């Protein structure tokens, strides 16, 4: 009886140890909870008649809570002005981002978000949608645009985890222009 208990204990320990690495690769909304720094670059192809595709570069900080809600500030610089506005190409634009993220157990997912230009009363109509790949071993998310309300998006980027706790973040005030 004693040998049988020892054998069962060894088998149980072996089974538990072999199950741990499998848990490391599991993904879901909880695996992306926290605060993330992100950056990306690409092009924004105009929706209307063919035209030059201006380059776009952006960076920001995302806070993702345990329900998958995303919030955070981001800064965008585009090689073209914003149509219908007096905003010329190359202007540094600060936005607030609000959205949600979905993650499958296979570490793929989608995030959807809206942006609101700082100082304006409402978000830009429509939603951005990006495919994501979560790399839990590196605390990293890779993303690629698939839908934009303002253009045919063509950008890629990466997010790196800053911390596991979701902590709201804002940009400090920018220095005055010369």
Q: Could you report the per-residue pLDDT of 53-105, keeping only the tens digit for each? A: 889 999 999 999 999 999 999 999 988 877 677 888 899 999 999 999 999 99
156 occurs within a structural domain: yes
- Reported as a single tens digit per residue, the pLDDT across 98-140 is 999 999 999 999 999 999 999 889 998 999 999 999 999 999 9
Q: Which domain holds residue 61?
A: 26-163
* DSSP line for the chain: -HHHHHHHHHHHHHHHHHHHHHHHT--SGGGG-EEEEEEEEEEEEESSS-----EEEEEEEEEE-TT-EEEEEEEEEESSPPTTSS--TT-EEEEEEEEEEEE-TTSEEEEEEEEEETT-SSPPSS-EEEEEEEEGGGTEEEEEEEE-SSEEEEEEEEEEEEESS-----PPPPPPP-
Please report whether residue 174 resides in a domain: no
With respect to residue 142, please indicate whether it lies within any of the assigned structural domains.
Answer: yes
If one counts the domains in the chain, the total is: 1
* 10: in domain: no
Instruction: Judge whether 4 lies within some domain.
Output: no
Tell me whether residue 176 is in a domain: no
Domain-located, residue 178? no
The CATH number of the domain holding residue 48 is 2.40.128.120
Q: Is 5 within a domain?
A: no
């Amino acid at each position: 009886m004693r040998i049988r208990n020892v054998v069962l204990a060894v088998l149980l320990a072996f089974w538990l140890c072999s199950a741990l690495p499998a848990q490391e690769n599991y993904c879901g909304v909880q695996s992306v909870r926290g605060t993330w720094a992100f950056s990306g670059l690409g092009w924004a192809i105009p929706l209307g008649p063919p035209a030059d595709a201006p380059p776009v570069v952006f960076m920001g900080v995302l806070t993702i809570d345990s329900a998958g809600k995303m919030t955070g500030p981001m800064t965008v610089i585009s090689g073209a002005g914003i149509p219908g506005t007096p905003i010329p190409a190359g202007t540094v634009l600060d936005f607030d981002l609000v959205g949600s993220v979905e993650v499958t157990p296979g570490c793929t997912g989608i995030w959807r978000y809206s942006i609101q230009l700082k100082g304006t009363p409402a978000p830009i109509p429509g939603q951005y949608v990006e495919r994501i790949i979560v790399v839990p071993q590196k605390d990293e998310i890779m993303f690629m645009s698939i839908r934009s309300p303002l253009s045919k998006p063509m950008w890629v980027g990466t997010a790196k985890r800053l911390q596991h706790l979701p902590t709201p973040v804002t940009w400090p005030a920018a220095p005055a222009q010369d």
